[in-house]
Structure formats: C-alpha cells, structure tokens
Amino acid sequence: MKNFWDERYGGEEYVYGTEPNLWYAGQLKNLKPGTALFIAEGEGRNAVHAARLGWRVSAFDYSQSGRNKALALARSAGVNIDYAVADAAGYIIPSNSFDLMVMVYTHFPRAVREQLFPKMIAGLKPGGRIIAEVFSTKQFGRGSGGPRSAELMYTPEQLRDYFGALHIELLEEAVIHLSEGPHHEGEADVIRMVAVK
C-alpha cells in the first residue's frame, strides 16, 4: 500500500485538492488554536489549513511523496508543520500532548486500528477532541471514493466501540456530495464523529 500512495501522490497535482475538507473546516472554526495531530495526512490540505489558523501542527503518513507535497503546500501558505513519515501502527503519540486529532478519510485494517486508536485517546489532553469524517461501509461499491475493501471502512458502532472511553459529542451517518479532486467526486456515504476527552 505504501507504493500505491507514493504513486498516487507522486505527480504535481494535489489529488484531493489543496482546500480543506469542508466539514472538518467548519468544526475547526469553533475551536481555540492549540496543538493538533493529523492522522495519515497525505498531501497536507487539512494540516496546512489548521496551521494557517494558528494551530501548532504535527502530522504523519507513510508516504514520502505525500509529505513532500504537504511541506510544499505549507511553504506556499507561509506556515510550518511538523510532518513525519511513519507507519500508523508504530507511530509514537506522547500521552496528554494534543488538543486536537483529525482523521479525514483515514482507513486502516483492524490490527492497525487496535494499535493506533488507544494511543490517540491517551495522546489527547483533557478536554482535547477527535474530529473524524470517514467512509461508511455503505460507501462500498460507490465510485465516489474510498477503499476497495469494506473491511477498511467503518460503522458507527465500530467508532463508538473504539472511542467509547471519550465523550462522543457527535456520531452520525450522512450522505454528502464530495468534490475533492478526481478520487473524491460524487455522492458518498460518510460517518462524522466528534469525541472529547
């Protein structure tokens, strides 16, 4: 999969665009800037948006091409982000370190989820929150985006189980229209979550 993402991000075009995910951006504008971690951040559009609003941004992805594009986007925006190339299962998240964590169309096998998600919960400061917009299992088979395996998508029940140690402020399924470049285009089934420590 690493080669897949390096190839997808390897061209000059930003394959999901340079503008942030709309729902995430709407959530962010209500928050006071602090420290933020972006999970599997790809080409950096969401991380750079936060940095422009004054957040101290960390991010990781296992694609070197994605990191290169993200850092270029940050330079063009006149901001700095700390971006590591790392595998999600092995990425170290210091305890009580972040006010915010963001997962936008971030999909992992079960074994990776079981390693990463508890570290995310532990890494939040008290009062910190996770903002997530991910593909629902109902998205499987649609041509508007998402993994080619339904096992990499989510159900609301799964997210409630994984993040049940947090106070879940919002957990909803929605049908939306995506317009985030050629790989995210059209009607899509998503799940949105806001969970607070």
The per-residue pLDDT string of the chain (197 residues; one tens digit each, 9 = 90 and over) reads: 557 666 777 777 888 889 999 999 999 999 999 999 999 999 999 999 999 999 999 999 999 999 999 999 999 999 999 999 999 999 999 999 999 999 999 999 999 999 999 999 999 999 999 999 999 999 998 876 788 888 999 999 999 999 999 999 999 999 988 887 777 877 889 999 999 99
Using alpha carbons, list the distances in angstroms from residue 47 to 52, 171, 180.
Answer: 9, 22, 15
Domains of the chain with bracketed CATH: 2-196 (3.40.50.150)
Does this model's pTM top 0.75? My answer is yes
The CA distance from 6 to 1, in Å, is: 9
Residue type, position 66, single letter: G
Pairing of strands 185-196, 124-135: antiparallel
90 CB-contact burial (10 Å; exposed 0-12 / middle 13-18 / buried 19+): exposed
